[in-house]
Structure formats: structure tokens, C-alpha cells
Chains A and B, each alone.
Chain A
Amino acid sequence: MDYGRILQIIFTGCITGGLYALVAVGLNLIYGTMRLLNIAHGEVIMVGAYIAYWCFTLYGVNPFLSLLLSGLVTSFLGLIICKIIFLPMIQTGKSEETIQSNSLLLFFAISIILTNVATLLWSADIRGYSYMTKVVQISTVPVMLNRLSAFLVALVVSIITYLLIQKTMLGKAIRALIQERTAAKLVGINSNRLYLFSFVIAFGIAGLSGALLSMIYEISPFMGMPYTITAFVVIVLGGLGNIMGSLIGGFIFGLVETIGISVTSPGLQSIISYGIFIAVILIRPKGIFGRGL
């Protein structure tokens, strides 16, 4: 295996990883603050992807602009879903396990609804568009410009998210809520408002990642589930609720997956992905940065 090929794998892995890191952040926020596993996460990404696709193919809007639009639309979706469905449920005072199981079913239902709405609106065909497909050379490795740009945007958004979480008061409150829910409430943190906020941000970032992904990959109403699975693996690897951890975990998983595919074959990507997912749940590691299942 020559040097160039290895470098290419690493590049591809990093780009994929960067995107995965962003994809995972949303799931981690909702899990960390509310202990809910959003299995509709991939479908929210899908919605973001379709919005960007729509804007580009119908109105010729620059996908980088529709990033914002996707993010806004999905944020709004998150707002509605959280307020109407989940906040009332958390407040019923049922046991944690009941709320978690019920939420899973609710998210499952939402994912089915979103998938079918998308199919109704845009048909089940796989769609895609070409944007920025010029190829540039980074040292000896050819990289498509759209991938590079997507990676850079993902990086920027990840850094912004990281700064938000680490440096702002809001971020501190969210971290407090993640680490110690009861105590956080006792010191006056308005948990309901923060739940809503995390939900909205999580959905927003998911929509944004969807828009980024639409620049590079083909999209379909059924593209969501694999991303949900990936996001889940990443957040377990990085430590549940650990935002920084999942950013790094995303990179690692992206690299591992890319290497795995290059060693075996692209057709096995799903099997590898789900295989890792299953292994991760069965073995339930504490994650690389602590805090396991």
C-alpha cells in the first residue's frame, strides 16, 4: 500500500469523521440533558438535507446559505416536538425508565412520520445534486472541494458548539444539567427551559449537518437510520453526555470506518457500522472519556 493511498484514506476518514462528529453532537445534547435517545435523529438530518436540496435545485440557492435555513427549520421542528410531546411527558412524574421507554416509542413514531412525509413530498427516489465538485490537491491527495468545504464548515460549527458549551453561562448550565440533574435543578437552573433549548439546538445542528451531507452524498427519505446508528456509536465511544468526547469520538469512528471499508469493501459499510453499534451496546464501555451507559 503506497503512501498516497494511506494519506487518502486518512483524509477521507478525517472528513467523514468531522461530519460524524457534528452529526453526533445533537444526539448527545438531548441524551445528556434529558436522558432521551432520539432515534429520529437521522430523520431530522434527512429533513435538513432535503431542504438544502430543494433550495438548490428549485431556486439555485447556495447550499452554504441553505445551511442556515435547514438549521432554522429543523430547530423550529424541534421546538414544536419538544413543547407538545416531550416536555409534558417529562413532567408527568412517571419513573425514569417508563419515560425513557415511552420516549423511544415516540421518537420511533416520529421517525416513521418524517420518513413518510418526505416520501410523500419528494418521492422515494434517491436524489442528489452536484455542487463544488472541482477537485483540489492537498499534497499528493486529490480531494473534492465540496467535501473539503463541508469538512471545514463542520469543523467551524463544532468549534462554535464547543465554545458555547465550555465558555458561556448557558453552556455551563447545560453541562451542570448533564452531570448532575437533580443538583442542577436545586441550584436554580430552569431545567425545562434548558431541555427545550438543548432540544432546539440539537435539532438545528442535525438539520445543518443534513444540509452539509446533501452536498456530498445522495439523499433519500430512508437515509436517516444509518446516521442515527453512527451518531449513537460515536456518543457512546466518546462518553454519553460528554460533548467534547463525542466530537473526538466522531473523528475516531470516521477513521475506523473508512479504514475498515478500505480493507474490506464498500458494500460492507452498513454491516461494519451496525456491527460496531451492536458490539458497543453489548460491551457497554465507559467510553473513551468516561461515563458509560
Chain B
Amino acid sequence: MISSRKKKYIPAIGIPALLIFLSILPFFVTDYIVSLLLDILTWVALTESWIILSGFTGYISLGHSAFFGIGAYVMAISWMSLPYPLIILISATSSMALAFAIGFPVLRVRGPYFVILTLGLSEFAKYIFINYEVNVKGTVGRILLGVPPIKTLYFSLLVIAFFTILCAYLIQRSRFGYGLFSIREDEDAAESLGIDTGIFKWLAFGISAFFPGAVGSVMALRRTYIDPYSVFDPIVSFQIIVMAFLGGMGKLHGPVLGACILTLISEFLWARYPHYYMIILGVVLVVIVKYLPSGILEIVGKLETAIRFLRTRMGCIF
């Protein structure tokens, strides 16, 4: 049994250690491993940012991929014209700005209607881009040449993922976080206690859009070819949701767990059997929603409780 005092030191030492480890690692492993880690970091950042809105306020979004897509396009348009870090910042900011622009009317819609609205919005964005690309530009896709090496992309995503988790962490412990959780638990009650639910939801929405914009811009470079179908793909939103549910939305490391597990599974399946992968994901989501709404962490939590129970019963045997 770890005393609560010790518990505080673990993250304090553990996280810088992990960061240092992850920073040094790329120089000692193959590029394949680096790209695998890069994928994990991508999904970690995407899922954590989704949690800031959907996990904290309970407004489940099926359209998070839209912000990813916008980030990708900002990069595709400005690559070679502006410094790399600046573009990432602009992508993130544009994405956030769009979220703020549409946030108020969109977030007035409640419950399941919000969920399908987000799906509709994401598809709408996709078709607008398709139309523009086809009619104005002539071709559907864009190619990016002269992209940075994979290690650069890796470190960019490491930074982005770190800040996403940091942001989620700070919000969770703040007054703002209390407001968001209240909205999730009971929006009317929250409103009656003085929380301006409209503004709070709006802020969460905008903040949650910032990070996928950044991620999208880096991923555009990684893929070197983007088109609306791939960057605005509902599959991206779908995978985020599965990872969030798999890992559990209660704790911050839930999405990390979900992202790691799913990325590893997809690593084995995606290249050769992408459709089987999707079907498996679908089944996984069904199972989780029905039986494990709190995610795998619920099982882990139950195991922990069981072990603790056994310990107290068995006394000094353990």
C-alpha cells in the first residue's frame, strides 16, 4: 500500500524521467520504432484533446477529425512559405478559431443531437474541401515535398502531446475544471449554481480544437500526401472514441493507455488487414459500451480492489 505522500513523488519524478527517456530513445532505435512511437504520440494528443471537451463536459463529439483535417490543410498550404514551428502554431490557432466561431450555436444543442451534429459538421467540412480542391484547384490531393526527417516530426509530436496532457491536467485541477465536470454531471444544476454553461462549453470546445490542429499539421508532413477523404475521415474520430473508451475517461492516463493498446494492435493489422482492424475496433467499442463503460481501467480498478481485499483477508501472507 503506497502512502499518499509517496504517491505525490511518483509523478514528480516519473514524468520528467519519462520525458527524458522519450527524448533520448530515438537515437538508439530504428526509424521504424520511432515512427511507431510517433503514431502513439499522435493518438495520445488527439484523444487527450478530445477528452478536454467530451470527457470533461460530456458533450460527445464525433467530429474531432475536422480539426485534424484543418490543421493538415493549413500545413499543406503554407509549407515552404513559412517557418515550420510557426505553421504548426498557425494550424493550431486556426483550428481553435474555427471552433470558437461555430461554438456557441453548436453547443446549444444537447445530448444525442449534439453528437450527430458534430458528425454532420465534420462531413460538411470534408465536402467543402473536396469541392474547393476539385473545382478551384483542379486536383483532389496535395503533395508536400522536402519534409523534415522523422526525428523532427517525432519531437514535434512529443512536445504537442506533452502540452495536451499538461493542459488537460491543469484544467482538471482548476476552477474551470470544476465547472466543466458540473456541466457533465447535470447542466441545469450547474447553471443554477452560477456557472455560465454557455461560455464554459465554448471555451472547452475551442481549447480542445487547438491541439488536433497542431497534430494535423505535423501529420500532413508525415504522410506527404493529403486529400480531404483521408484527413477528414470519420475513422479518425472513431478511433479517438474507441481509445478514450478503452482506456477510460476518468483518469488522464486512460487515453494514453487506450492509444498505446490500439496503436500496437493496428500496427499488426492495419498494413495487411485494415478492414479486419476496423471490424475488431467496432466490436471492441460495442463490448466496451455495453459492459465496461468506464474502460479497461475499470477492470484494473476492480482487480486492484480485489487484490486489496484479499490482502486484508490473508493478513501477513502477502
**Direct chain A–B contact by Cβ atoms under 8 Å:** yes
- A residues at B contact (CB < 8 Å): 37, 39, 85, 88-89, 97, 100-106, 108-110, 112-113, 115-117, 119-120, 225, 229, 232, 267-268, 270-271, 274-275, 277-278, 281-282, 284, 293
Q: Identify which of B67-75, B106-114, B250-258 touches chain A.
A: B106-114
CB-based contact A39/B113 at 8 Å: no
Provide the residues of chain A in CB contact with B293, threshold 8 Å: 102
Given contacts A101-B115, A232-B116, A284-B109, contact A112 B278 (CB under 8 A): yes
Task: Decide if A97 touches B120 in the complex (CB within 8 Å).
Answer: no
CB of B112 within 8 A of CB of A274, answer: no
B120 touches A116 (CB 8 A): no
CB distance from A289 to the nearest CB of B (A): 19
Per-residue A-contact encoding for B185-220, CB less than 8 Å = 1, 0 else:
000000000000000000000000000000000000
How near does chain A come to B271, taking the closest CB pair, in angstroms? 15
Q: How far is the CA of A189 from the CA of B112 in the complex (A)?
A: 27
Cβ contact within 8 Å between A105 and B275: no
A104 touches B112 (CB 8 A): yes
Q: Is B127 an interface residue (CB 8 A)?
A: yes
Known A101-B60, A104-B115, A274-B124; contact A282-B286, beta-carbon cutoff 8 A: no
B294 nearest CB across to chain A (Å):
13
- Could you tell me if A105 and B120 are in contact, using CB atoms closer than 8 angstroms? no
The 8 closest A-B pairs by CB, nearest first: A113-B282, A274-B124, A109-B285, A116-B278, A116-B275, A270-B127, A109-B282, A100-B112
B241 at interface, CB cutoff 8 A:
yes
CA gap between A87 and B245 in the complex, in Å: 22
Min CB distance B186 to A, Å, is 10
Chain A positions within 8 Å of B112 at CB level: 37, 97, 100-101, 103-104
Q: Are B285 and A105 in contact (CB under 8 A)?
A: yes
| B113 touching A293, Cβ below 8 Å | yes
- Given the complex of chains A and B, what is the CA–CA distance between A110 and B238 in angstroms? 11
Write the chain A residue with the least CB distance to B60.
A101
Please give me the residue from chain B that is nearest to A270 by CB atom.
B127
Q: Is B116's CB under 8 angstroms from A85's CB?
A: no
Q: Shortest CB–CB separation between residue A154 and chain B, in angstroms?
A: 25
| Nearest-Cβ distance from residue A46 to partner chain B, whole angstroms | 15
Q: Which residues of B contact A117 (CB under 8 A)?
A: 275, 279
CA distance A244 to B227 in the complex (A): 41
Residue contact B106 to A271, C-beta cutoff 8 Å: no
| Residues of chain B with a CB closer than 8 A to A112's CB | 235, 238, 278-279, 281-282
User: Residue B135 at the A interface, CB < 8 A?
Assistant: yes
**Complexed CA–CA distance, A40 and B101 (Å):** 30
Q: Assuming the A-B contacts A89-B290, A120-B275, are A229 and B123 also in contact, with contact meaning beta carbons closer than 8 angstroms in the complex?
A: yes
Query: Inside 8 A of B315's CB, which chain A residues have their CB?
Result: none
> Judging by beta carbons under 8 Å apart, are A113 and B283 in contact?
yes
Minimum distance in angstroms from B163 CB to a CB of chain A: 28
Find chain B residues with CB under 8 A from A232 CB: 116
Question: Chain B contacts of A268 at CB under 8 A?
Answer: 131
Interface of B is mostly: helix
Chain B 131-157, CB within 8 Å of chain A: the 1/0 string? 100110000000000000000000000
Interface string of B95-131 (1 = CB under 8 A from A): 0000000000110110111011101110110011011
Interface residues of B in 256-313 (CB under 8 A from A): 275-276, 278-279, 281-283, 285-286, 289-290, 293
Instruction: Find A106's partner among B117, B276, B289 (CB 8 Å cutoff).
Output: B289
Determine if B282 and A116 form an interchain contact, defined as CB atoms under 8 angstroms apart. Answer: yes
Question: Which residues from chain A contact B168 at a C-beta distance below 8 Å?
Answer: none
Please tell me which one of the listed residues A104, A225, A275, A281 contacts residue B60 in the complex, with CB atoms under 8 A apart: A104
Give the interface of B toward A (CB within 8 A): 60, 62, 105-106, 108-109, 111-113, 115-117, 119-121, 123-124, 127-128, 130-131, 134-135, 234-235, 238, 241, 245, 275-276, 278-279, 281-283, 285-286, 289-290, 293
Q: How far is the CB of A292 from chain B (nearest CB, A)?
A: 10
On whether the beta carbons of B290 and A97 are closer than 8 Å, the reply is: no
How close is B275's CB to chain A, nearest CB, in angstroms?
A: 4
Residue in B115, B245, B290 whose beta carbon sits within 8 Å of that of A85 in the complex: B290
A275 to B124, CA, bound (A): 7
List the B side residues contacting A270 at CB < 8 Å.
123, 127, 130
**Bound complex: CA A119 to CA B286 (Å):** 20
Bound-complex Cα distance A37 to B60 (A): 15
Cβ-defined contact, A39 with B281, below 8 A: no
Assembled-state Cα–Cα distance A275/B221 (Å):
31
* A102-B282 contact in complex given A108-B238, A270-B127, A281-B109, C-beta closer than 8 Å: no
Choose from A89, A110, A267, A275 the contact partner of B135 (Cβ within 8 Å): A267
24 CB < 8 A contacts A-B? A39-B116, A89-B290, A97-B111, A97-B112, A101-B112, A102-B289, A104-B115, A105-B285, A106-B289, A112-B235, A112-B282, A113-B282, A116-B276, A116-B282, A120-B279, A229-B123, A271-B131, A274-B124, A281-B109, A281-B116, A282-B108, A284-B109, A284-B113, A293-B113
The answer to whether A229 touches B279, judged by C-beta atoms less than 8 angstroms apart, is: no
Cross-chain contact of A278 among B121, B276, B290 (Cβ < 8 A): B121
